[in-house]
């Protein structure tokens, strides 16, 4: 990166470190932090959407839809979540390939599960065997995002379902007294008011989501954990311009600091958001704000 | 091979007894059940040891955090923040590599890189931080009247703590602590995926479940079996904890007892 980095053997101290930390592989490591943030940026809204749909389904008037919603909410309970991650990432992949197989190769006569193999016709492979490397990586990443969205969607659904029930009954009755239909009172009265009740639970979910991001490693993504392990390994002068001892401990210390900082930052932001959302609400926090404002 | 033979061969495979080689092909349902169940021994071991030892440190941390002395409060606050603010997965990796480099210098740390000790230490610190926070919250919500009544009876210091503060803290914090115990057991499944090696393929329940899923490329059999075992385990924990909870609440009328509510908090 820097001009003085042409001959690392000559360097010492901070200049050596500045060169070491700006090698090409280190930029892959930094890019992996971007991947974590990207995962959060996509997975959090989609989990929220899944959660909202799940909660709507759970309070639906149509029985099968309600059962589905309730089952979805309670499916994450009682079982270690890591198992869900490992399960969904294979199951989703097989589901997509199986669906494409049914559409693209209707006259394929061999069974898909042959002993220990899962075989679909070549045209149904996802991504195709001929696809470039980046498509494989993107597909893997999207599968991971979808897995996160499904698992955390169930958790968000639980929170939102509770929040919808927490909206004061009198508010809904007033809406009915004004002659609003069920749909109108849902969208105009319940949904705007439920967020303040949902926020503590959703903040908790967000914190848990942050702390779940290293599990990307288990889903086969080259994430920060992967690179911390790779880069920290002992290098000898024969194989590397920058020989060093086993530094994995320091790399993981850096990850610990990253996550701690991220958690603290989120806590501050969420506390402000809670204050903002409590404004004008019929809750203790809203009442306290009203009194101080006077 | 009958199911009895499989049980004889693999029931204690996770501890290193019985057949050395894992099945490689033609997996039967019985093998799934026996091996995953065998791995569960590890989860129970990790969870139980960490809970029992972590409990004492958790009480210390809760009292430290509630202390008025800054030199007691800050370390406790820092400890709780550090372990609650970072992922368990990364803590495990970090601890493993710290132990690995210590092992290079001192022979004393030889067994710390093995899961039975190293991972238990991380789990112990982790659960101490989470339950410390729970007990701190419980300590803060002890009714003012209880403390005033103790003062009126002339109880103070250690006696007041033992007779009034501690039992009330336990009673109020118990429902949340039950949840913590359940999720500690769930967290133990991460251990063998986070640096700590499974020597001679002796791993926990999830280790064997993912072994089967990798070999058969069929996630629909091993993971539901794992789920089944963990639901059983969860029910057992709830059973034991509600017995203790009932004892803690035995002097109270039914309605005023703090009730256990299952609140999943997923990964830590």
Other beta carbons within 10 Å of A176: 14
CA–CA separation, B78 vs B99, rounded Å? 22
Answer whether residue A188 shows pLDDT above 80.
yes
- For residue A127, is the peptide bond before it cis, meaning its omega torsion is within 30 degrees of 0? yes
**Chain B residues with CB within 8 Å of chain A CB:** 25, 81-82, 85-91, 93-94, 97-98, 100-101, 186-187, 189-190, 193, 206, 209-210, 213, 215-220, 223, 226-227, 230-231, 234, 262, 264-268
Answer whether residue B195 shows pLDDT above 90.
no
**Cα torsion B1, B4, B7, B8: sign:** negative
Identify the domain containing residue A218 by its residue range: 14-234+248-285
CATH of the domain at A262: 1.10.3720.10
Hey, what are A281's tokens?
């609400």
Structural domains of chain A, count = 1
**pLDDT value of residue B250:** 87
CB contact under 8 A, B97 and A204: no
CB contact under 8 A, A260 and B85: yes
- Across A288-293, average pLDDT: 80
Best mutation target, B94, B105, B126, B205, to test chain A (most A CBs within 10 A): B94
- How far does the CA of residue B201 sit from the closest CA of chain A (Å)? 18
Strand partners, A118: A113
Answer whether residue B120 shows pLDDT above 80.
yes
- Across B60-68, average pLDDT: 93
Answer whether residue A28 shows pLDDT above 80.
yes
| Domain chopping of chain B, boundaries | 35-256
Superfamily of B35-256 according to CATH: MetI-like (1.10.3720.10)
Of B190, B216, B230, the CB nearest to A78: B230
Q: Show the beta-strand stretches assigned E in chain A.
A: 113-114, 117-118
Counting one residue from chain A and one from chain B, the pairs whose CB atoms sit within 8 A come to 127
Give whichever of A118-122, A203-207, A258-262, B20-24 has the largest mean pLDDT.
A258-262
Burial A1-22, CB ≥16 within 10 A → b, else e: eeeebeebeebeeeebeebbee
**pLDDT value of residue B264:** 55
Note whether residue A1 is domain-resident: no
**pLDDT value of residue A21:** 82
- For residue A164, is the peptide bond before it cis, meaning its omega torsion is within 30 degrees of 0? no
Note whether residue A165 is domain-resident: yes
Report chain A's mean pLDDT, rounded to a whole number.
Answer: 84
3-state class of A147 per DSSP? helix
- Across B24-41, average pLDDT: 88
pLDDT digits (tens, 9 = 90+) for A203-224: 888 988 898 898 888 888 888 8
Judged by average pLDDT, the poorest of A152-156, B22-26, B128-132, B156-160 is B22-26
Note whether residue A2 is domain-resident: no
CB within 8 Å of A120: residues ≥ 6 apart: A97, A98, A100, A101, A105, A108, A112
- Contact in structure between B201 and B15 (CB atoms under 8 Å): no
CB contact under 8 A, B94 and A252: yes
pLDDT-based confidence at residue B231 (cuts at 50, 70, 90): confident
pLDDT digits (tens, 9 = 90+) for A30-53: 988 998 999 999 999 999 999 999
A237 or A89, which is more confident: A89
pLDDT-based confidence at residue B49 (cuts at 50, 70, 90): very high
CB contact under 8 A, B81 and A228: no
Q: Which residue of B has its CA nearest to A87?
A: B219
Answer whether residue B245 shows pLDDT above 60.
yes
Answer whether residue B262 shows pLDDT above 70.
no
- Contact in structure between B81 and B155 (CB atoms under 8 Å): no
CB contact under 8 A, B97 and A246: yes
pLDDT digits (tens, 9 = 90+) for A222-261: 888 888 888 888 887 777 777 788 888 899 999 999 999 9
Report chain B's mean pLDDT, rounded to a whole number.
Answer: 88
Burial A104-140, CB ≥16 within 10 A → b, else e: eeeeeeeebeeeeeebbbeebbbeeeeeeeeeeeeeb
**pLDDT value of residue B268:** 55
Q: Using only the alpha carbons of chain A, give its radius of gyration.
A: 25
Which H/E stretch holds residue A28?
A: helix A24-58
pLDDT-based confidence at residue A6 (cuts at 50, 70, 90): confident
| Residues of chain B contacting residue A263, judged by C-beta atoms under 8 Å apart | 85-86
Q: What is the ipTM for the molecules in this complex?
A: 0.86
Share of chain A above pLDDT 90, in %: 18
Best mutation target, B24, B80, B82, B85, to test chain A (most A CBs within 10 A): B85
A78: left (phi over 0), alpha (psi -120 to 50) or beta: left
pLDDT digits (tens, 9 = 90+) for A127-166: 777 778 888 888 888 888 998 998 889 888 988 988 888 8
Answer whether residue A29 shows pLDDT above 70.
yes
pLDDT-based confidence at residue B48 (cuts at 50, 70, 90): very high
| Residues of chain A contacting residue B234, judged by C-beta atoms under 8 Å apart | 78
| Residues of chain A contacting residue B101, judged by C-beta atoms under 8 Å apart | 246, 249
**pLDDT value of residue B18:** 81
| Residues of chain A contacting residue B262, judged by C-beta atoms under 8 Å apart | 77
- Across A8-26, average pLDDT: 78
Note whether residue A294 is domain-resident: no
């Amino acid at each position: 990166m820097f001009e003085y980095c042409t001959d690392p053997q000559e360097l010492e101290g901070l200049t050596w470190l500045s060169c070491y930390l700006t090698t090409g592989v280190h930029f892959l490591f930094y890019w992996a932090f971007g991947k974590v943030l990207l995962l959060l940026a996509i997975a959090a809204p989609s989990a929220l959407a899944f959660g909202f749909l799940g909660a709507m389904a759970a309070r639906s008037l149509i029985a099968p839809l309600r059962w589905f919603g309730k089952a979805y909410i309670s499916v994450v309970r009682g079982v270690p979540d890591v198992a869900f991650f490992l399960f969904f990432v294979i199951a989703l992949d097989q589901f997509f390939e199986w669906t494409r197989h049914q559409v693209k190769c209707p006259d394929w006569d061999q069974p898909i599960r042959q002993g220990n193999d899962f075989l679909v016709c070549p045209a149904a492979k996802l991504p195709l065997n001929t696809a470039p490397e980046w498509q494989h990586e993107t597909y893997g990443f999207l599968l991971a995002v979808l897995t996160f969205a499904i698992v955390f969607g169930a958790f968000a659904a639980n929170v939102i379902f509770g929040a919808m029930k927490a909206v004061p009954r009198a508010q809904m009755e007033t809406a009915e007294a004004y002659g609003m239909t069920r749909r109108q009172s849902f969208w105009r009265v319940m949904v705007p008011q439920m967020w303040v009740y949902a926020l503590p639970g959703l903040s908790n979910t967000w914190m848990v989501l942050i702390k779940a991001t290293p599990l990307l490693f288990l889903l086969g993504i080259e994430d920060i954990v992967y690179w911390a392990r790779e880069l920290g390994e002992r290098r000898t002068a024969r194989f590397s311009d920058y020989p060093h001892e086993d530094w994995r401990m320091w790399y993981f210390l850096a990850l610990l600091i990253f996550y701690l900082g991220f958690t603290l930052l989120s806590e501050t932001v969420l506390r402000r958001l809670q204050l903002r959302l409590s404004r004008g609400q019929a809750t203790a926090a809203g009442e306290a704000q009203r009194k101080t404002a006077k | 091979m009958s199911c009895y033979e499989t049980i004889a061969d693999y029931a204690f495979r996770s501890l290193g007894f019985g057949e050395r080689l894992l099945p490689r092909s033609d997996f039967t349902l019985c093998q799934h059940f026996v091996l995953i169940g065998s791995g569960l021994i590890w989860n129970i071991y990790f969870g139980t040891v960490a809970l029992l030892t972590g409990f004492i440190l958790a009480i210390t941390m809760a009292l430290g955090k509630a202390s008025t002395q800054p030199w007691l409060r800050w370390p406790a606050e820092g400890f709780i923040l550090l372990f609650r603010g970072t992922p368990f997965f990364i803590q495990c990796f970090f601890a493993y590599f710290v132990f690995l480099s210590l092992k290079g210098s001192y022979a004393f740390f030889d067994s710390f890189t093995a899961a039975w000790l190293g991972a238990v230490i991380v789990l112990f610190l982790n659960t101490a931080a989470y339950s410390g926070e729970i007990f701190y919250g419980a300590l803060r919500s002890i009714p003012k009247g209880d403390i005033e009544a103790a003062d009126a009876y002339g109880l103070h210091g250690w006696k007041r703590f033992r007779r009034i503060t501690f039992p009330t803290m336990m009673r109020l914090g118990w429902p949340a602590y039950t949840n913590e115990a359940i999720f500690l057991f769930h967290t133990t499944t991460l251990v063998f995926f986070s640096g700590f090696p499974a020597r001679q393929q002796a791993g926990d329940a999830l280790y064997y479940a993912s072994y089967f899923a990798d070999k058969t490329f069929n996630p629909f059999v091993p993971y539901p079996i794992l789920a089944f075992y963990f639901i059983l385990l969860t029910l057992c924990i709830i059973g034991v904890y509600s017995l203790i909870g009932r004892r803690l609440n035995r002097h109270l009328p039914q309605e005023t007892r703090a009730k256990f509510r299952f609140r999943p908090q997923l990964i830590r």
